[in-house]
């Protein structure tokens, strides 16, 4: 069973975001999340405790300034939200204090291509928050800029997924920097807020991308599971079923989906199915990042 799950996890990481045929394994620290689960869980508990104490101190320190402002931009409001969750070493969402543990994080990658706006509307209707990880090459026309703004204005988090979705491990440091920073600049220009989450194409980070994420105060994440780039699941029925019934579904799971036709078609069913199993969708604004932990 454990082997099967490790295999599944490896397969899902390997195939992520589609067409990758590279023979190198794209995953990073999350390589064997299952076998390492227990130690990681213990580490997380420790981390959580440390963060808890830090947070309490921070909150008390910032109380005074918090009360002062009455008119906030959405960006300020988002950054002010008191973090209730942290990402652990395998990018699952875990509660800091007594927040609900039975949650999942919804993420939509490779947006805004064709279906992101419709997906955002579906999620909004269901009151299900999510992160849209965007690529700069999809935001080059006024129409697409408007769509991005619309998604942001609906309250969704906009994450950075690089400009052209290239494998960062094949690019020079300069090029990597450009791939990442140009998206932050673009998103900020359109929405007024700089992305605070980063997800590398194919989940393949480099020392450079990690450093840029750090400098830009972005939280870096891969995912727990996703299937919609796999031919076997390219139908509404198949993807709706596996996203809810996979045995990788667990508390805090980080769900990877894409701006794709079948995922768009299945989205409502997926959210309802997750809720049917008792999982609520966590609001990304409540996840601790280098931005809101200050």
Enumerate binding residues for Zn ion (CB under 5 A). 17, 109-110
**In the bound complex, which residue of the shown chain has the CB atom lying closest to Zn ion?**
17
Question: What are the tokens at 81?
Answer: 């939200």
What's the min distance (Å) between Cβ of 218 and Zn ion? 16
CA distance 131 to 262: 19
Q: Which is nearer to Zn ion, 110 or 157 (CB)?
A: 110
Instruction: Please name which of 198, 202, 194 lies closest in space to residue 220, comparing C-alpha atoms.
Output: 198
CB of 66 to Zn ion, least distance (A): 36
Q: Give the distance from CA 180 to its chain's centroid.
A: 16
Tell me the closest approach of the beta carbon of residue 84 to Zn ion, in angstroms.
27
Bridge partners, residue 132, by sequence: 108, 158
Nearest distance from C-beta of residue 28 to Zn ion, angstroms:
15
Q: Sign of the CA dihedral 72, 128, 124, 150? A: positive
Q: Answer yes or no: are the C-beta atoms of 143 and 114 closer than 8 Å.
A: no
Phi and psi at 103, nearest 5°, equal -130, 160
Nearer to Zn ion, 55 or 109 (CB): 109
Name the minimum Å distance from CB 16 to Zn ion: 7
By beta-carbon proximity to Zn ion, the closer residue of 16 and 96 is: 16
Nearest residue (CB) to Zn ion, 109 versus 193: 109
Shortest approach of Zn ion to residue 136 CB, angstroms? 13
Residue 17 or 180: the one with the smaller Cβ distance to Zn ion is 17
Closest approach, Cβ 201 to Zn ion, in A, equals: 5
Measured from the CB atom, the residue of 17 and 213 that comes closer to Zn ion is: 17
Look-up of token digits 């928050």: 129
Q: How far is CA 240 from CA 16, 257, 274, in A?
A: 17, 11, 10
Q: List beta partners, residue 158.
A: 132
CB burial of residue 202 (10 Å; 0-12, 13-18, 19+): buried
CA distance 31 to 229: 20
CA gap 192, 185 in Å, rounded: 10
- The answer to whether 211 and 190 have CB atoms below 8 angstroms apart is no
Minimum Å distance from CB 202 to Zn ion?
7
What's the rounded Cα separation, in Å, for the pair 165 and 168? Answer: 8
């Amino acid at each position: 069973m454990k082997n099967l799950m490790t295999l599944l996890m490896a397969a899902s990481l390997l195939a992520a975001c589609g067409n990758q045929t590279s023979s190198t394994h794209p995953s990073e620290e999350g390589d064997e999340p299952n076998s390492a689960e227990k130690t990681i869980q213990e580490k997380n508990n420790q981390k959580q405790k440390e963060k808890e104490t830090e947070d309490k101190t921070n909150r008390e320190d910032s109380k005074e300034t918090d009360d002062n402002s009455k008119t906030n931009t959405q960006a300020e409001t988002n950054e002010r939200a008191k973090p209730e969750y942290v990402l652990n070493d395998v990018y699952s969402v875990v509660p800091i204090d007594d927040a609900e543990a039975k949650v999942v994080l919804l993420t939509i990658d490779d947006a805004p291509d064709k279906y992101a706006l419709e997906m955002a509307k579906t999620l909004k209707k269901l009151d299900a928050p999510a992160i849209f990880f965007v690529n700069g090459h999809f935001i080059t026309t006024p129409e697409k800029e408007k769509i991005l703004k619309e998604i942001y204005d609906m309250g969704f988090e906009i994450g950075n997924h690089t400009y052209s979705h290239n494998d960062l491990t094949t690019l020079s440091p300069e090029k990597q920097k450009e791939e990442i920073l140009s998206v932050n600049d673009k998103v900020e220009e359109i929405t007024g807020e700089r992305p605070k989450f980063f997800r590398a194409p194919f989940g393949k980070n480099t020392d450079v991308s990690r450093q840029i994420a750090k400098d830009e105060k972005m939280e870096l994440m891969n995912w727990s599971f996703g299937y919609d780039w796999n031919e076997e699941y390219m139908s509404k029925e198949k993807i709706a079923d596996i996203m809810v019934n996979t045995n990788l579904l667990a508390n805090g799971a980080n769900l990877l989906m894409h701006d794709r036709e079948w995922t768009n078609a299945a989205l409502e069913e997926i959210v309802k199915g997750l809720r049917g199993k008792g999982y609520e969708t966590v609001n990304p604004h409540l996840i601790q990042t280098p931005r809101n932990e200050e």
